[in-house]
Structure 1
Amino acid sequence: MTKPEDARVVHNADRYRFELWFRGELVGILGYFDLRHLTESLRIQGNIGPKPEDVVMSFLHTIIVEEFENRACAALFVQRALDLARDYRWKVRPVCTYVRRFLGDRPEYRDLIVRLNA
């Protein structure tokens, strides 16, 4: 049985993803896209870069290896990734359908959400 305390979520910024680790084994990834890549050229005039509250990350996909799919790992993973996003002062654009469903059931994360059509 997998215990939540055995789970570790790591931010792998070099690969633009969060990783879920259980007992030294990579069992999940949550990929994101840094939307600053699309807007940095617009900020050159007079500004050094985006303010932390302007950072929007699109959470693109959540993948959990098959052996861990039915153990509530995805919910734990997404929750911890969103907590890290909040710590970083990011806004989140939930492209991933699982992340959208997760956020829809949890009003405590509404402050992080940027709508897809915004």
Structure 2
Amino acid sequence: MNTSSPDLAVSDNADQNRFELRLNGDLVGILGYYDFERAPSPNPPVVDFMHTVIVEDFGHRGLAAVLVGGSLDLARSRGWRVRPVCTYVQRFLSSHENYRDVVVALEPPRTEPKRTETQRTEPQRKENRRRQPQRKMPARKA
């Protein structure tokens, strides 16, 4: 009877901008991140967690939670702040309050105010002219 537990490890592959989950040495999942704020700053760096992927054959085993939890632990140990762009990371955080200190809130999507006719670009004005019905000119008398 085999009673050994699987060897799970989360590591940072900084060259690829991702955390990797390995099961018994085999890569089974990644969490891609992006650091928009690389410039030196007195504030901790904010890193966006973009996307979580688990190899299909290893799905539905709780490995995504292991990957996200391990990634958040590594981020915390480095003094990073995390912006959870990935919807799986967002769901994970909603039930794991112990990571609240690491999380930066997502900014609401920016909406542009509606442009007035004077603010529209030339291609937009041309498109609007094409949409307007053409008026027929009265015939000239000879």
**Band the TM-score falls in, shorter-chain normalisation:** 0.7 to 0.9
- Letter aligned with residue 46 of structure 2: V
Detail structure 1 runs of 4+ shifted over 3 Å in the superposition. Answer: none
Which structure is higher in strand share? Answer: 1
SS of residue matched to 2:47: strand
- Give CA-to-partner distance per residue, 1:30-87, whole Å, 9 cap, x none: 00000114xx3xxxxxxxx223x42000000000001111110000110011000000
1:71 to 53, 61, 68: 61
- 2:79 corresponds to 1:89: yes
SS of residue matched to 1:77: helix
Q: Which residue matches 1:116?
A: 106
- Letter aligned with residue 103 of structure 2: I
- 2:41 corresponds to 1:50: yes
- Give CA-to-partner distance per residue, 1:81-118, whole Å, 9 cap, x none: 10000000100000000000000111111111111117
Q: Point out where structure 1 has 5 or more consecutive residues left out of the alignment.
A: 41-48
What is the 5 A alignment of 1:99-110? Answer: 99-110=89-100
Which structure is higher in helix share? Answer: 1
**How many percent of aligned residue pairs carry the same amino acid?**
50
SS of residue matched to 2:61: coil
Please tell me whether Structure 1 or Structure 2 has the larger radius of gyration of its CA atoms.
2
TM-score under structure 1 length normalisation:
0.83
SS of residue matched to 2:73: helix
Structure with bigger RCO (C-alpha 8 Å, 6+ apart): 1
Q: Which residue matches 1:13?
A: 14
Q: Point out where structure 2 has 5 or more consecutive residues left out of the alignment.
A: 109-142
State how many pairs are aligned. 106
Q: Which residue matches 2:33?
A: 32
TM-score under structure 2 length normalisation:
0.69
